[in-house]
Structure formats: C-alpha cells, structure tokens
Structure 1
C-alpha cells in the first residue's frame, strides 16, 4: 500500500533526472549572471564572492556528477571517488580483522579517530586552520568506494598543524567480495598525507592538498601499526595495479608503484567500537533544509510585500496583495510537505522554481530583460538554489525513505 500523497514510480524518476540536468543548465547561466554583474564597480563587486561560492560548491559539482556518470565505470578500479563523482585518492591498503580490532590497532599505533563531518566540526577546522591551532580529530572529506563514503578515518597531526596530517580512510568490504585475482580483504583503505590547504583545481573549493608519493604514506601506516602491534603481519600483492602517475579529485598529482599490502590485525583485541562511528544521521539532509528554507523565506518576503501594499487603495495593488497571500500560503504548505518527506511537494516546488528560472533565462536570451537588480537576482537565485538542492540525490532518497517507512508502518497495522 502506497501512502496517500506520495509521488513514486517511473514518472517521478524521469522528472528527477530532468530536474537534475536542468539544475546544471540554469545554475551555469546564473553563475555567469553573477560574474557579469560582479565585474561592475561599486557594491556589485561583492557578487564575485557569491559567484565563487555558488559556482564552486553548487554548480561545478553538479556538472561533474553528470559527466562522470557517463564516462567513469561504476565498479572497483582501485580508486575512490569524490562526492562530485571525480576520481579520488588511490586505494592502497587492505586489512584483515574485525572492526574493533582495526580500531584497537590504529589507536594503539597513535592514530586519532577523525570527527564526522558536520556543521560543528566544519566550523572548527576552518577556525583551526585560520588560527593555526591544533585539531587532532579534524574531519576528513568524504570519499566513496563500494558506492558509499568511508566508514571511518584515522589521522595523525604533524607538529600541531591542522594543515598537515597523515590520514587514512577505511571502507568495510561487502560480504563475500574478493579483490581482483581472488585475494581476500575485510577492509580497504586509502592513505595519503595532507601537505597544505588550498583551492581544488577541478572545483575551486577550499581543500587539503596531498603529497604526490602516496606509497610513502601507505608504508607509514603499515610500519606504525606493526611497531605498536608486533604480532600484526603483512603480505604484499605485487603489481596489483600498474604503477602510474595521475591526479586526484583535487587536482593533486599522485604516484604509486601499484603494490597493495594486506595488513593482518586479527591479533589485536576486539574493543568496543568508538561512539564517533555510530552517531545517527541528521533528521533532514542539508539539501532538504535548503529547499524548504528558501521556500519559507520567499513566503515571508511575500507577506512583507503584502503589508506594504495593504495601505494602497488602488485596485490593482489589492489584487497583487491577494495573489502574494496565496503564493505565501502555497510556499508554506510546500515547505512543510518537503520537511515531512512528501515527494509531490518536492517535485511541485521544483516545477514552480523551474518556471521562474527559465522565464528569467528566456528574457536574458531574447534581450527583453535581465535579472540585474538586487531583488531580481535574489528571486532568480533562490529558484535556482531550490532546484539544485531538491534535485540532489539526498533529497530524493529522503522522500523515498519516508515513503518506505510509512508503507512499512501501514503494512504492519
């Protein structure tokens, strides 16, 4: 039984794909508008900062997601992938052992479990870098393997600097999964050394840059564990991959000899899993909060405009005020529906915002108008932001999860 008000099935999937592609097109166009207007003298130059944030953190990642889905294979090739779909750091280490044994081995060797990436830890690492203060458990950016991000990561800060650190990410291997050649491993890991903070070559985002010789970091992890845990053994799969030079998702050069060590830590005692690795996911994905938040903000703006028109006796102004009241009510209903996981609300709000964005884009193409005034930029930018946020996989998966939970509860009753 499908809960009332859900929008599922092939038609919803097609719409999501269309919105995902449309968001890249209108996002690229609006980025150009911001850049164009930001080059004007005076206060509009502040738009250059907005352009960098919008283009680097929203539009370029969306373009990369679309393109890499076309040309990159979706199976194990010994490389991780970034959240944008780009090839990330090389997978250069395997481990045998239970999760508790891996945690024991790393902590015994002096490694610190990294904090999960959330608002608190993100702000803390930015402040640590700016102030040059230590943050031994600083979060590491998510990389994906087996179609999911790392289960946990460990790190060692260098001389109390958050800009330089040894770090290694871990992924649990799927049940029954074997490495190419039939080799077994319980965990795969990617070990690299962060050498400095800078801008990514491919996304222009602020990121850590890694040292080119990833084999040195791979061997450092193995040696540190074996020194702290004498019973740990290591076997080497020679020429597991061809030795190569390449770049990762941040544009950093990487070099490896292609060997893959398998570190056996099954001699380590199994302790309790750290609490950090078991924190519950937030109730709402950030993309859902952004989409609903923009809708509520727009509705609030309509209400403020209505208050300004309330004193006007002109009939056309009163009609406009009535329209804005209805628009504010619709935005409020859609925002609540999106937070509640209603797929129809998500699709309907993206439809309304698509009409607004495409109309503004058509005016710009035909030369009849351009969103160069502040309120025009704000209106169109909000619409583009909603499409980018609510067409993200996390927003769609949230609606699907809510629908599945409701369906399970209905079946049980």
Structure 2
C-alpha cells in the first residue's frame, strides 16, 4: 500500500513538473520574448512612396514576398474575405498560443488561429485572414495585409499583402514559439485567393503587375524557401453592403 502511494505521489510530482515546464515555456515564448523583441528590435521604416517587395521579421530578416493587393475599404476587405470563406485571424498572445497548441496536438479545428507577425512600412500587419485546410490548424491558407494608402485624398484604400500556405508547424528560430512553415510556391496561394474572391462575387475588377519582383526566389526568416513568377495580383473590391 505504501509503495502504491509512493508511486502515485511520484506520478503527481511528474505531472506537476510537466505542467510547470509548460507554463514557463508559454510565459517565456509568448510574453517575455515578444516584449523583448518589441524593446530591442525596431523595424526599419519604409517610405510608402514606393511599394516594398518583401515583408520582414521583427529582427529585420526577410519575410514572405508581397504578392497580392486589394483595393477597397477595410469594411469591403472584411466583407469580401468572409464571403470567400476566409476567417479573420486572432491576435497572437498567450491564450491564442495555448489554444492553437492544444488544437494541433488534439487535431481540432481552429478557424481563427493567430499568425506570427511580419512587418511592412515599419509596422505589423493591419489585417490577417486564413482558410482552413483539413481539421487541424497546422495546415492552412493565409494572407497578411498592410494598408498602403491610408488617406482618403489618395484615392481608394490599397492593401498590400503576402499570401502563402502553411504546410506544417515548427518552432521559431527567433522566439521559440510554435510557428508555421510555408510551402515554397507562393504563386499558388496568390491564385487561390484570387479564385476565392472571384467566386465570392465581391470582386469588381482585377489586374496583374508583371515583373513586380526582380528576385524570383528567396528564403524567409523561418528558413523556408519560396519562389514566384514575379507578378503582383491586384483585386478591386466592390463596396461593402
């Protein structure tokens, strides 16, 4: 009986130790490290006089390539993306980080799972959307969008975006947080988003800026290679109802 109680006590201590390690990891990865990046890392401000081609990480490594643009108000973007079957991503934080970790482990859907932050114009994305692929959030279609023309006198708002497909989960080399690794063919995601918006009926017009990218291959801050034909797709959205 004493031996049984001893084993049960050791089991409880082990579970307590695992729980404590999980709490320490979560606090470090999702609270202290992001705050440290905020303090020590100041993204270089990029003038909106010319459209940037690549996003960047908080420590100025190259991120994912810009490959889409949407013309329309924030309301029009949100309405069109919802009609196209894309969900707004939750903000990255402790609660959402724990939820996506649990859902990946348990194979549960998380349609509004957070995305890691990338920077353009010296700030993180203004909007982010995703479309699930399967029942687990370890694979998904997603796009980050940055407002490029914020003033009404400059015409209709223009959002520049980086669309890519998350092929699986891994650990960030920068923060230790769980993060996604993208599939190399970013053009496929650009075209997938275009097709979804066409089907939604919210697309008024579209165009292609050929040769937008001069470098057709690269590696993002997570070490993921990408390739593109160099074209930027622009979608003009109808006004939100």
* TM score, norm. by length of structure 2: 0.76
Q: d(CA) in 1 for partners of 2:28 and 2:89? A: 28
Q: RMSD of aligned C-alpha atoms? A: 3.4
2:10 equivalent in structure 1: none
Aligned partner of residue 207 in structure 1, secondary structure = strand
Aligned partner of residue 85 in structure 2, secondary structure = coil
2:196 equivalent in structure 1: 224
| Deviations, residues 252-310 of structure 1 (Å, cap 9, x unaligned) | 11111111111011x24x25xxxxxxxxxxxxxxxxxxxxxxxxxxxxxxxxxxxxxxx
State whether structure 2 residue 126 is matched by structure 1 residue 159.
Answer: no
Contact 2:45 2:121 in 1 (8 A): no
The alpha-carbon distance between structure 1 residues 203 and 223, as it changes in their structure 2 partners (threshold 3 A), is same
Aligned partner of residue 161 in structure 1, secondary structure = coil
State whether structure 2 residue 108 is matched by structure 1 residue 133.
Answer: yes
Q: Spell out the pairing of 1:254-403 with structure 2 (5 A cutoff).
A: 254-265=226-237, 267-268=238-239, 270-271=240-241
| Deviations, residues 357-376 of structure 1 (Å, cap 9, x unaligned) | xxxxxxxxxxxxxxxxxxxx
Q: CA deviation at 1:203?
A: 5.3
Q: Spell out the pairing of 1:139-154 with structure 2 (5 A cutoff).
A: 139-154=114-129
Counterpart of 1:233 (choices 202, 205, 216) is 205
Q: d(CA) in 2 for partners of 1:122 and 1:202? A: 16
Q: d(CA) in 1 for partners of 2:86 and 2:210? A: 27
Counterpart of 1:186 (choices 158, 168, 190) is 158
1:85 equivalent in structure 2: 60
Q: d(CA) in 1 for partners of 2:119 and 2:63? A: 8
Extract unaligned runs of 5+ from structure 1. 1-46, 178-183, 272-413
Q: CA deviation at 1:117?
A: 2.1
Q: d(CA) in 1 for partners of 2:134 and 2:162? A: 22
The alpha-carbon distance between structure 1 residues 244 and 203, as it changes in their structure 2 partners (threshold 3 A), is farther
| Deviations, residues 164-191 of structure 1 (Å, cap 9, x unaligned) | 00001111113469xxxxxx96111110
| Deviations, residues 166-223 of structure 1 (Å, cap 9, x unaligned) | 001111113469xxxxxx9611111010000012355554310000111110111011
Larger strand percent: 2
Larger helix percent: 1
Contact 2:101 2:178 in 1 (8 A): no
| Deviations, residues 46-70 of structure 1 (Å, cap 9, x unaligned) | x9xx89x9799749x75xx66x97x
Extract unaligned runs of 5+ from structure 2. 1-20
Q: d(CA) in 1 for partners of 2:121 and 2:174? A: 23
Aligned partner of residue 138 in structure 2, secondary structure = strand
* TM score, norm. by length of structure 1: 0.46
Greater Rg, structure 1 or structure 2?
Answer: 1
Aligned partner of residue 106 in structure 1, secondary structure = helix
Contact 1:200 1:251 in 2 (8 A): no
Aligned partner of residue 64 in structure 2, secondary structure = strand
Q: CA deviation at 1:83?
A: 2.5
2:71 equivalent in structure 1: 96
Q: CA deviation at 1:86?
A: 2.0
